[in-house]
Chain A
């Protein structure tokens, strides 16, 4: 994975995150990722991937940007920069959204949580400085933007994540908040772990049930160690994070999403809330509304590749002799045992089941358009919540 070369970010020298020594002491193989040292793998990507699918994996994603937004009408102001319904986002709820430029191109994708007295944003590590500049440029001065760069972010993902986290005995920090095991998918709440404050959300980037936990830098090692002490949990590197999200059909910014592509073409129309489709009022709204009326010429699809040779980013996709698209991310699926990929193809070639071919080093590999996710999501949704 060379995540950031394509985004044009040049961050030197590589920076150290709060869990750096913790990873090195446990055998994590550290690489420069988004300008930070992070583990690409521990025992091996395949084993880590499968462990996360069957038990629980602990990921360090502290390179991601954690931003607090507060002030008068913060939700309404943020809505001017993204197509999601933030005004209607209830306290304790999370929404996936995307920052768009004036042409409707995707600047980043992010999670927005209503934390009651402020909005909490998690943005991609490689985009965070640009995001902060973008927010500062467009938001009124009365809106406070606070970058929580003294916080780490851990993700605990997998069907047994709930068992492991519940055992830590976190206490809700606000009245009426549920225990962590009673949070539904895309819900969040503050907790106390003894005297340490944690922001916990039931969300993730693997397609599995699980949590993302915002923790003060000085508490990160203790939390990571306590989680790793649980028998269900192993440490997982960024390599498996990438193969897990690919199987889950989740796009990776800088690869599957770029400023050249639009929300609708990316198949992320669910992130354009109903009210905003008609009202507009956000950067890039004209393109979104136009593409809702007239579907875009190219769309993001999943592909299952024949044989064993992985088709990777940049490979050309053909229908017969005609190039109809390009792979934006791809690789071996540890769960399925076959190569899978995501890419952009002409709308006429986008229907599931369409036979296509992909050129890899002069060879044409057979491929079939496949509905995503490749591996079913196993989120834990509460009745009535969404």
Chain B
């Protein structure tokens, strides 16, 4: 399994043609206390860059973009009852949704962990 990162502070774990998507530790820290996550419906298809989810922190709503094109095959239902999982465990238990990728070559444009760390350090 490989993990990719976007410059919108999402992480993507890819296993076969399934990509699990969440936001990074840096992103949750910036957003602050998360009180609601609006997840996409299963079966919905996105093009890369589409609005896919919304994270509501105490102070504001933030859009989460689809980091690659694909169809939503599963969403993290645990976030409905416990949106704070995104704060406490952003890069594991706080995942948002899983996509069946339609064009895995889109991932080539994304960053690996080292590149993302360098990117965040430069912000």
Give A residues with C-beta under 8 Å from B.
1-2, 40-41, 44-47, 49, 239, 242-243, 308-310, 312, 331-332, 334, 339, 361
Contact = CB atoms under 8 A, between A and B. Distances in A.
Contact of B56 (A40, A45, A310): A310
Interface string B23-59: 0000000001101101000000000000000101111
A41 B32 contact: yes
Interface in B46-105: 54, 56-61, 83
B35 A308 contact: yes
Given A239-B58, A312-B61, A332-B56, A44 B83 contact: no
Contacts of B61: 310, 312
22 contacts: A1-B60, A2-B60, A44-B32, A45-B32, A45-B57, A45-B58, A46-B32, A46-B33, A46-B58, A47-B33, A49-B58, A239-B32, A239-B59, A242-B59, A243-B58, A308-B36, A308-B83, A309-B56, A310-B35, A310-B61, A339-B35, A361-B38
Contacts of A361: 38, 54
A312 B38 CA distance: 15
A61 B38 CA distance: 34
Nearest to B54: A361
Contacts of A44: 32-33
Contacts, number: 44
Contacts of A339: 35
B60 to A, nearest CB: 7
A169 B44 CA distance: 64
Contacts of B32: 41, 44-46, 239
Nearest to A238: B59
Contacts of B60: 1-2, 312
Contacts of B35: 308, 310, 332, 339
Nearest to B83: A308
Given A44-B32, A44-B33, A46-B33, A331 B38 contact: no
The 10 closest A-B pairs by CB, nearest first: A332-B35, A46-B33, A45-B58, A308-B36, A239-B59, A309-B36, A310-B56, A332-B58, A44-B33, A45-B32
A28 to B, nearest CB: 13
Contact of B59 (A1, A47, A308): A1
Contacts of A309: 36, 38, 56
A314 to B, nearest CB: 11
Nearest to A45: B58
Nearest to B30: A29
Nearest to A307: B36
Contacts of A2: 60
A68 B10 CA distance: 51
Contacts of A49: 58
A243 B56 CA distance: 14
B35 to A, nearest CB: 4
